[in-house]
């Protein structure tokens, strides 16, 4: 109880004040520059789920690329220009009619930054990290994805340096779609495995 | 005047190891979520990268462990990027690059940091520099519970699984986080049947695959 009371101080600096103080202290001391910070922020803004969506669309349309992606996703993604921090060893997980893949990092929030982007808030939430390893079907159902009992769910825990991406099933009725049109059906949620690729009518 | 909280002591099996913890609620997805919601989050991400890559203040394993050393209540209530900031700044202070007093003066209030590293943070694990396991092998995760950084989640310790893939060698995080011996070991994708991990799981073919360093494992039958 005393610890609880100790935690409620009235004079916490706000998060904005703490970030500004850290930034100013490091820059004033000459340890980093404004240009360094802009460099890394821009780098993060170039990592987008649209990158992974393009990888998936190519795998759906190019059998040779699909084979390379399943064999060595790191170099297959790099050949499309997607490489960098948290993308040093990428493994692509292909969904099949009887196997569904979903990714989590229970201990922090690791993702394959160059192909998925920085992780979204729901992926970083304690609720997702705690629950999806234990009750994946309930979590997926709550998120709008109902899977039949015939489909095995594989939950991939990002506990070491492998970074995963899911290749969802190609939606029916997309035979005539171009690679670009297919890529627009693949969301960040589908690349993580909490959603399917969108149907063509949506 | 600044009133400081009592620092929590070193603890093992920190709050970060959430896999399987019960009591949490629904997960809400924001459609088309932006990379950052707030400017301070963008700055914090850049500070996290610059302190590791430009300043070389600390490595990624030390950084992850600094976040794990946050007080559990602070950890659970903090935004993700507040955890990023707290872990990063805790190491900058511990390594003498910045002082907490200066930061609190600049910030105008309490700047809560992570608790200290445990005195004996590492389990004694013999280095496994050559791979001991192959695809198809049955393995068991050791029931170790060191007071420092470890990347074998609690929910799989003591359980048996099957090796389905051998990954390249990567820095062993337990020693890397604690200025210990630098070594690289292979990791394995080990598949555990959900019904083995969770007694409340109804019968399905579901499984959980955990990426585990060689040192965390022993042969099982």
pLDDT of residue A6: 57
Determine the average pLDDT of the residues in B46-59: 98
Q: Quick one: which of B81, B82, B89, B91 has its CA closest to B61?
A: B91
**A186 phi, psi to nearest 5 deg:** -105, 110
pLDDT of residue B203: 73
CA distances, A161 to each of A79, A201, B124 (Å)? 21, 38, 22
pLDDT of residue A1: 40
Q: Quick one: which of A113, A120, A124, A122 has its CA closest to A46?
A: A113
Give residue-wise pLDDT tens across range A144-161.
Answer: 999 999 999 999 999 999
Mark which residues 177-206 of B lie under 8 Å from A by CB: 187, 189, 191, 194, 197-198, 201, 204-206
ipTM reported for the complex, 2 dp: 0.94
Does residue B1 have a pLDDT over 50?
no
Give residue-wise pLDDT tens across range B131-173.
Answer: 999 999 999 999 999 999 999 999 999 999 999 999 999 999 9
Active site (annotated) includes residue A105: yes
- Chain A residues close to B46, C-beta within 8 Å: 36-41, 44
Does residue A9 have a pLDDT over 90?
no
Determine the average pLDDT of the residues in A84-108: 96
Cβ proximity of B126 and B215 under 8 Å: yes
Among A134, A166, A189, A194, the residue to mutate for chain B (most B Cβ within 10 A): A134
**Which pair of tokens denotes residue A145?**
């994805």
Does residue B5 have a pLDDT over 60?
no
DSSP-derived letter for residue A161 is S
Cβ proximity of A90 and A74 under 8 Å: yes
Closest CA of chain A from B67, distance in Å = 9
Cβ proximity of B131 and B27 under 8 Å: no
Q: Tokens 């409340």 appear where?
A: B200
Contact B21 A130 (CB under 8 A): yes
Q: How high does pLDDT run on average in chain A? A: 94
Q: How high does pLDDT run on average in chain B? A: 93
Contact A160 B212 (CB under 8 A): yes
Measured between CA atoms, the residue of chain A closest to residue B93 is A22
Give residue-wise pLDDT tens across range B86-134.
Answer: 999 999 999 999 999 999 999 999 999 999 999 999 988 889 989 999 9
Reported as half-sphere exposure (CB side, CA atoms, 13 A), residue A194 has a value of 27
Q: What is the CA radius of gyration of chain A?
A: 20
The catalytic position among A75, A108, A141, A159 is: A108
Does residue A5 have a pLDDT over 60?
no
Active site (annotated) includes residue A77: no
Active site (annotated) includes residue A109: yes
pLDDT of residue B124: 87
Q: Quick one: which of B190, B170, B176, B188 has its CA closest to B129?
A: B170
- Complete edge-to-edge strand list for the sheet that includes strand B138-141: A99-104, A152-157, B207-213, B184-193, B160-171, B138-141, B217-219
Residue A92 β-bridge partners: A165
For residue B200, name the pLDDT band (cuts at 50, 70, 90): confident
Cα separation, B147 vs B172, whole angstroms: 16
Among B3, B16, B29, B45, the residue to mutate for chain A (most A Cβ within 10 A): B29
Cβ proximity of A30 and B54 under 8 Å: no
Cα separation, A125 vs A111, whole angstroms: 14
Give residue-wise pLDDT tens across range A132-148.
Answer: 999 999 999 999 999 99
Helices (H), chain B: 39-53, 60-68, 72-77, 80-94, 100-107, 173-176, 194-197
Cα separation, B43 vs A74, whole angstroms: 28
Does residue B47 have a pLDDT over 60?
yes
Least confident stretch, A72-76, A178-182, B120-124: B120-124
Contact A142 B54 (CB under 8 A): no
């Amino acid at each position: 109880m005393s610890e609880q009371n100790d935690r409620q101080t009235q004079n916490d600096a706000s998060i904005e004040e703490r970030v500004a103080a850290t930034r100013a202290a490091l820059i004033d001391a000459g340890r980093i520059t404004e240009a360094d910070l802009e460099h890394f922020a821009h780098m993060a803004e170039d990592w987008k789920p649209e990158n992974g969506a393009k990888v998936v669309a190519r795998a759906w349309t190019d059998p040779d690329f699909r084979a390379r992606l399943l064999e060595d996703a790191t170099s297959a993604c790099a050949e499309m220009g997607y490489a960098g921090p948290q993308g040093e060893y990428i493994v692509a997980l292909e969904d099949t009619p009887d196997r569904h893949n979903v990714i989590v990092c229970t201990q922090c929030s690791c993702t394959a930054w160059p192909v998925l982007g920085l992780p979204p808030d729901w992926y970083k939430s304690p609720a997702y990290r705690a629950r999806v390893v234990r009750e994946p079907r309930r979590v997926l159902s709550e998120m709008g994805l109902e899977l039949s009992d015939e489909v095995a769910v594989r939950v991939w825990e990002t506990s070491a340096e492998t970074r995963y991406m899911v290749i969802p099933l190609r939606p029916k009725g997309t035979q005539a779609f171009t690679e670009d049109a297919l890529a627009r059906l693949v969301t960040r949620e589908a690349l993580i495995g909490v959603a399917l690729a969108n149907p063509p009518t949506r | 005047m600044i009133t400081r909280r009592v620092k929590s002591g070193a603890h093992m099996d920190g709050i970060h190891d959430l896999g399987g913890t019960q009591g949490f609620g629904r997960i809400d997805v924001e459609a088309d979520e932006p990379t950052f919601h707030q400017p301070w989050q963008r700055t914090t991400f850049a500070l996290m990268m610059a302190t590791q890559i430009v300043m070389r203040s600390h490595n990624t394993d030390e950084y992850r462990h600094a976040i794990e050393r946050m007080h559990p209540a602070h950890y659970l209530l903090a935004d993700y990027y507040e955890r990023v900031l707290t872990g990063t700044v805790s190491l900058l202070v511990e390594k003498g690059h910045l002082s907490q007093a200066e930061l609190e003066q600049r910030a105008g209030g309490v700047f809560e940091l992570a608790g200290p590293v445990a005195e004996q943070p590492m389990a004694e694990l013999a280095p496994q520099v050559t791979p001991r396991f192959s695809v198809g092998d049955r393995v068991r995760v050791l029931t170790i519970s060191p007071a420092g950084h470890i990347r074998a989640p609690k929910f799989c310790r003591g359980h048996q699984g099957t090796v389905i893939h051998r990954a390249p060698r990567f820095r062993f995080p337990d020693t890397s986080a604690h200025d210990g011996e630098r070594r690289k070991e292979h990791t394995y994708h080990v598949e555990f049947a959900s019904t083995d991990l969770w007694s409340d799981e109804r019968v399905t073919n579901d499984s959980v695959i955990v990426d585990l360093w060689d040192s965390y494992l022993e042969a099982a039958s």
